[in-house]
Structure 1
Amino acid sequence: MFQIDIIEQCKNNDRRAQMALYKQYCQAMFYVAMRYLKNEDDAEDVLQESFIKAFQKIHQFKGEVSFGAWLKKIVIHKSIDFIKAKQLKTVELQESYMQVVEDGDWSVEDGVRVKQVLQAISDLPVKYRFVVQLFLVEGYDHGEISNILKITPTACRTRLLRGKGQLKELLKKKKYVTGS
């Protein structure tokens, strides 16, 4: 059965088609939620809420992007909303104390695993973590990130530049990066 047929059946509230779509995407979307939430129970909750929302809003899916990309956006929004709902307290950094780190010439050592880089990203302050993660891991551009996080494109670029600089320093401390 083609995916477009499954989606059309889901639009008609076909439970078997919904289960087929769920089985096809649940593991990948769980990993997306885990990158944000770092807790399996929370990620499972967000995953369930995301699928419920997706099936409720499936009539809005027009096929302009893949279903997976459409669903991934829902999972990311739900993950960020979950974190905000937990009222994650962050301390506002004083911009005047921060130094913009230019993107120098640096590369990751050959033996470094993706898991190590993702761990370093998760160690970034929340203000920078989401922008870096959405840009480097999820592949969103500045406009999309600005919309998702409800920040200006300029703030997005600034946070990405600073977040990448901090990421570089974290990786240097862990001896994963070479170069200046």
Structure 2
Amino acid sequence: MTEEAILLGCLKNQPAAQQELYSKYSPKMLAVCYRFARNREDAEDMLQEGFIRVFTQIHQFQSKGSFEGWIRRIIVHTCINHLKKHKKFNDSVDISQAHTIQVREDSVPSIIQAKQVVECIRMLPIGYRTVLNLFAIDGYTHREIAQMLDIEESTSRSQYTRAKAMLEQILVQKKIIIRPQRQDEWVAAAHVRF
């Protein structure tokens, strides 16, 4: 089924089209949810909530930009709302706690994989992780993040700076990277913009 056929079917509330849309996009969107969630169960809850919003708001898609991008924005906003609703975003830490993270020693992999970097991102406190995901991976500006999270723009910037420092420390401790000469040497594996 083509994307256009899926969209038209979903606009008519056809279960087959809705199932096709879910099957096509849920794996990628689950990965998005997983970046924000503490565990797989939370990620699946976010995904479920997100797709309910996709199906109820599908009539608002105006064919400007990609359909997948539109779905991703809904999923990201759903994740943020889920964190706010469950008061999980408020669980942030002071930078002085950054040096107390305990990291298990693993063997040095031969190739840095994005999955490993994402797992390290998930080790960050929820406030740091959320801002890092929104800015570096999803491409939101600090102004947009501040509006989404009901925080000051300067708070978003400082959370991001602290998240980068803590992430680098985790990556070095896990021996996923050797302290880089340039930031882009280790960030490229995660396809993020630091």
TM-score tier (shorter): 0.7 to 0.9
Deviation of 1:130 after TM superposition, in Å, equals: 0.9
The equivalent of 1:144 in structure 2 is 144
The equivalent of 2:32 in structure 1 is 32
Structure 1 alignment gaps of length 5 or more: 100-108
Deviation of 1:92 after TM superposition, in Å, equals: 5.5
Deviation of 1:110 after TM superposition, in Å, equals: 6.6
Contact 1:168 1:177 in 2 (8 A): no
The equivalent of 2:106 in structure 1 is none
Distance 1:179 1:45 in 2: 37
The equivalent of 1:53 in structure 2 is 53
Deviation of 1:80 after TM superposition, in Å, equals: 2.6
Secondary structure in 2 matching 1:177: coil
* Residues 167/74 of structure 1: CA separation in 2 closer, same or farther (3 Å cut): same
* Residues 149/91 of structure 1: CA separation in 2 closer, same or farther (3 Å cut): closer
Structure 2 alignment gaps of length 5 or more: 99-108, 182-194
Secondary structure in 2 matching 1:178: coil
Secondary structure in 2 matching 1:65: coil
**Structure 1 outlier segments of 4+, above 4 Å:** none
> CA-to-partner distance for each residue in 1:95-127, whole Å, 9 max, x for gaps?
7x699xxxxxxxxx9732222221221222222
Deviation of 1:32 after TM superposition, in Å, equals: 1.3
Percent identity between the two aligned chains: 35
Contact 1:30 1:47 in 2 (8 A): yes
Distance 1:87 1:131 in 2: 15
| 1:159 matches 2:159 | yes
Q: How does 1:1-180 map to 2 (within 5 A)?
A: 1-88=1-88, 90=91, 93=94, 111-175=111-175, 176-179=177-180
Could you state the TM-score of these two structures normalised by the residue count of structure 2?
A: 0.73
Could you state the TM-score of these two structures normalised by the residue count of structure 1?
A: 0.77
* Residues 163/3 of structure 1: CA separation in 2 closer, same or farther (3 Å cut): same
Aligned length: 169
Distance 1:98 1:149 in 2: 22
> CA-to-partner distance for each residue in 1:128-174, whole Å, 9 max, x for gaps?
11111222233333343333323333332222222112212222222
Deviation of 1:12 after TM superposition, in Å, equals: 2.2
Contact 2:33 2:76 in 1 (8 A): yes
